[in-house]
Chains A and B, each alone.
Chain A
Amino acid sequence: MQTLVGIVDLARFQFAMTTIFHFFFVPMSIGLGVVVATMETLYVIKKDEIYKKMTQFWGKIFLLSFAVGVVTGLIQEFQFGMNWSAYSRYVGDIFGAPLAVEALVAFFAESTFLGLWSFTWDRFKPGIHLIFIWVTAIASLLSSLWILAANSFMQNPVGYAIDNEKGRAVLTNFGELLLNKQLWVEFPHVIVGTLVTAGFIVAGMSAFKLLRLKKNDQQVPFFRKSINIALTIGLVGIVGAFITGDQHAFDLQSMQPMKYAAMEGVDESINSADRKDKAQPWALLSVTNPKTHKSIAKIEIPYVLSILGNHSLTGGNTKGTLELNKEFEKEYGKPSGYVKDYYVPENTLFFAFRIMAMGAGLLALVALVALWFNRKKSNLILTQRWFLWVLGVMTFFPFVVNSAGWIVTEMGRYPWVVYGLMTVADAVSPNVSVASLLTSNILYFLTFSTLGGVMIWISRRVLIAGPDAPEEEEATTERDPYDDLTGKEAKA
């Protein structure tokens, strides 16, 4: 089945590419929504024009990211039918529901109120205008809840039964779908991630700007304040990320042990009772041979995996990938065709997980130093130019961390599309040609490169122009047709 392999590989590549690109902009816009809404709230409370300027300035970046996020989200919805029609038939009864609900309860509100927010600055009282951005921000949080409900079903199927006659999974309990244990670790983890992302985008861009400004420039206070607001939100996000991430990994031990074992680089099972120190060591570094699935190189730190995985200094057992593969073969039968074994890409998972976790640690450190340097009475943030560079580079870092997180989540599910129920090879559209997939992959790639490049270029221009850039001259005017009817003078 040479062609099937081609289709599955291309469809998987497309899913990975479109999801990762989409997920560059989703956390950015969700988080920026919260940051911008916070800034506008400060404006309404303190009535200080600087916060209004801040809202409008960062609002531009927010609107840009929102646009790219929405249009790339369309791909995600269509893709299930286009590339994964067998999957759509198998789980449509369950999976379609959260997608449809997302559109109904979240997308409509998001897009309508965002339109109201961005076009009515001079038309409503500040208090009313503030409601628009908060509705947008809350609706986008809701939309991620529904999308993740769908994703959580793929990770940890619940609330379903198998209809053997029609050969599909059917929904038996909608409530269970929403109370999925996986959802309630995944959703909070993603949400705090969006706060981190937006926090570092605002802080990092501000740092780049401060590098360009003279110390007594009148824009300096604007960007210093922006850093403080953004990193306060960002730091809350990081603390949340550690707490939810820890819980997430803990639950994986029972829900997806293969993913957990690969993340922690465990090939041979660890039974802490059999060990001298009665504890599980944690791999700081582990390289696995992809053919034998055995570790080639390993640097271990004693006790740490017991602390992380067992929440105590000693004890806890971790099944290794080798043993788990045998267990899966017993449970699901010997794999065949496209699926050769039940191993996940161990090295990718191991390093992606460390990039995510250690990256978050690095971000926490940078945030703390930045907030310290940026205290009201200190000018350290302006004098320590090296640090501004560090903070500036951090603009891009949350994207790396977020992507790493999704790679762990999605690749760790291999070879399943729906964990334990359906493999990727069985999910693909059998009637789509390699040529179609190749065409779409290439065009998506070119499109994404263009969009990403233009986004960075425009963001840089917005930043250089600064918050005091002259508003584009009010070219158009408005007339109320109602005035025409009543014969009143048209107001310009």
Chain B
Amino acid sequence: MSELQFIWFLLIAVLWAGYLFLEGYDFGVGMQFFTVARDQHEREALYETIGPTWDGNEVWLITAGGATFAAFPYWYASLFSGFYLLLFAILMALIYRGVSFEFREYMPTVPGTQIWERLIAIASFIAPFSLGIIFTAMVSGTPIDAKGNLSAGFFDYFTPFTVVGGVAVVLMCYIHGLNYTRIRIDGEMRYRVVKQLKVLYPLLVAGEAVFAVLLFFYTNFIQTKPVATIIILALIVATTVCGWWLTIAKDREVLPFVASGLTLVELVALLFVGLFPRVMVANNPAHDLTITSSSSTPYTLQVMFIVVLTVLPIVLAYQIWSFWVFRKRIVAPKVVE
């Protein structure tokens, strides 16, 4: 494995981590359209917190996809064709979510608006759930043949481990979104958010414990890389507990948001550390796709690396600036009944 190949493996991990950190919160806010907001004004306020930035967040996914295509074409081909229906579900979710944000504003009646808002909520659930399943299935081993073609049936995708993985990603995104709502919303909704956080944080910690146990049975992470795996698992739990404590005991807002984002980042770290030096885990270890066997040529990796090195800092600069522009709290008007 060359240094460049390793750097690209890292970069792909960074892109996924960035994607989950950013779109994680707008998935979370999307799911809250009917669990936190109670009327149209509150849904409008929730929408305004993510309206200007969700699209930019989604580009992290497009970049992750494109970068995998460019740097590891064999990985891209096996992953995307192998998890066909799950990726299709993600695409459908992202399509309906994306247009619903626009369409809802032009509906003449409240029920009309709510059709699209319900779609946003459902899609914001389906996308992270499917992503969670793909990630956990990818690391727990799937039927891949010698050519790298993955042909899996329903029970290869859906195991107790992958379902817990899917639920975990959804819950992490939801809590991440609650923390975001707390920062960006003023008024009554913030109290509802804290109430939910009080219930959900212990649930997440318990879920993470279950996930850790299943990880032992469904992957070889703990067997092959015990130290790194256990450290990251401990970090995930610790970060969650820390966010919980900061929210409930200290009444802090920004730090718990950072913490919930970090748990998503750590989850990606766990998966990528476990994968290394593989990129796809096959049931038959001889058919594993590795960083070395699935990557592009050194020339492509080098050209692309130069492009990333020049462009990514600029992208980060203006994205961060746009978050700063939209830092103010949104207040939904009180409805007097």
The interface of chain A, by Cβ under 8 A from chain B, is 63-64, 67-68, 70-75, 77-78, 80-83, 85-86, 88-89, 91-97, 99-105, 107-109, 111-116, 118-120, 123, 163, 168, 170-172, 174, 429-432, 436, 439-440, 443, 447, 451, 454, 458, 461-462, 472, 475-482
Contacts and interface: CB of A to CB of B under 8 A. Distances in A.
B103 A93 contact: no
Interface string B271-313: 0000000000000000000000000110110011001100110
Contacts of A93: 70, 73, 296-297, 300
A73 B58 CA distance: 12
25 contacts: A73-B62, A74-B91, A88-B80, A89-B73, A93-B297, A96-B300, A101-B66, A104-B66, A108-B315, A112-B53, A112-B318, A163-B297, A171-B303, A432-B84, A436-B84, A439-B88, A440-B84, A440-B88, A443-B92, A454-B99, A454-B103, A462-B106, A476-B41, A476-B45, A480-B328
Interface of B: 41, 44-45, 48, 51-53, 55-56, 58-59, 61-63, 65-74, 76-82, 84-85, 87-88, 91-92, 94-96, 98-99, 101-103, 105-106, 108, 148-151, 183, 186, 296-297, 299-300, 303-304, 307-308, 311-312, 315, 318-319, 322, 325-333
Contact of A479 (B59, B326, B328): B328
Contact of B63 (A71, A81, A103): A103
A109 B318 contact: yes
Contact of B77 (A88, A439, A461): A88
Given A64-B102, A96-B68, A115-B51, 6 more contacts: A64-B103, A81-B80, A100-B307, A111-B58, A163-B297, A479-B328
Contact of B296 (A92, A99, A451): A92
A451 B102 CA distance: 12
Contact of B41 (A64, A71, A73, A475): A475
A478 B52 CA distance: 14
A475 B44 contact: yes
The 5 closest A-B CB pairs, nearest first, are A92-B73, A81-B80, A96-B70, A96-B69, A100-B66
A115 B53 contact: yes
Contacts of B70: 92-93, 96-97, 99-100
A174 B303 contact: yes
Contacts of B332: 475-476
Contacts of A105: 307, 311
Secondary structure type dominating chain A contacts:
helix
B81 A82 contact: yes
B312 A447 contact: no
A104 B56 contact: no
Contacts of B296: 92-93, 96, 170-171
A104 B95 contact: no
Contact of B55 (A70, A78, A83, A89): A70
A85 B149 CA distance: 9
A83 B81 contact: yes
Contacts of A82: 80-81, 84, 87-88
A64 B99 CA distance: 8
A63 B102 contact: yes
Contact of A111 (B55, B108, B186, B327): B55
Nearest to A472: B105
A201 to B, nearest CB: 17
Nearest to A482: B327
Contacts of A102: 66
Contacts of B108: 461
A118 B52 contact: yes
A77 B328 contact: no
Nearest to B79: A81
Contacts of B78: 85
